[in-house]
Amino acid sequence: MRVAIVGTRCLEGVALARAMVANAIRSHPDAIFCTGDADGIDAMVREESRLQDRLCVIFDVRPERLKQAGWDRRRRWRLLKSRNQDIVRWCTHLLRIYCPGSPTFGSGWTEQYARQQGRIILPTIAIRCPRHQDEEALMGAEGFEPSVR
């Protein structure tokens, strides 16, 4: 079993997200994991794999290539999309842990692509990060509970 764990960068430092990552790794004792090279969920997967002495393959975008792309969103997305496609080609299963308030949709795109490619999609976990929870409170919205679908 090769499990890709992808998600949102804004969940960096969110204890519940870290606990979900740790549990996902612990609950698949025969799996090899993979993730990207970003902050947030990717960083948690790399760290938690190390702490649990588990193998984790890291798919990265070379920093010099991102630097060359600069702030051109289309060029950056092409690089990230290519990395995400590599992740999907490698994995047999995919788990997405994300913040619904995040302005980007990279992990959502990866989940959709994995589904199209016939990968097994584990239950998606939604956790609102403190920054987006505060923004919702300012708009007068109800409180947010983590969800799994």
**For residue 103, is pLDDT > 70?**
yes
Q: How far is CA 28 from CA 33, 117, 118, 121, 123, in A?
A: 9, 22, 20, 14, 14
**For residue 148, is pLDDT > 70?**
no
For residue 144, what pLDDT band results from cuts at 50, 70 and 90? Answer: very low
Give the pLDDT of residue 2.
98
Give the pLDDT of residue 131.
80
Q: Tens digit of pLDDT for each residue in 66-89?
A: 777 777 778 888 888 999 999 999
Q: How far is CA 133 from CA 9, 26, 114, 136, 149, in A?
A: 15, 28, 28, 5, 20
**For residue 143, is pLDDT > 80?**
no
* Helix %, strand %, coil % of the chain (to 5): 50, 15, 35
Q: Are 128 and 141 in contact (CB under 8 A)?
A: no
Q: Please classify residue 26 by burial: count the beta carbons closer than 10 Å to its beta carbon, then call 0-12 exposed, 13-18 middle and 19+ buried.
A: exposed
Q: Tens digit of pLDDT for each residue in 116-131?
A: 999 999 999 999 888 8
Indicate the range of 13-17, 71-75, 80-84, 110-114 predicted with least confidence: 71-75
Q: Give the domains, in start order, of the chain with CATH numbers.
A: 2-148 (3.40.50.450)
Give the pLDDT of residue 141.
43
Q: Which two tokens stand for residue 121?
A: 């999609």
Q: Report the C-alpha gap between 18 and 44 in whole angstroms.
A: 6
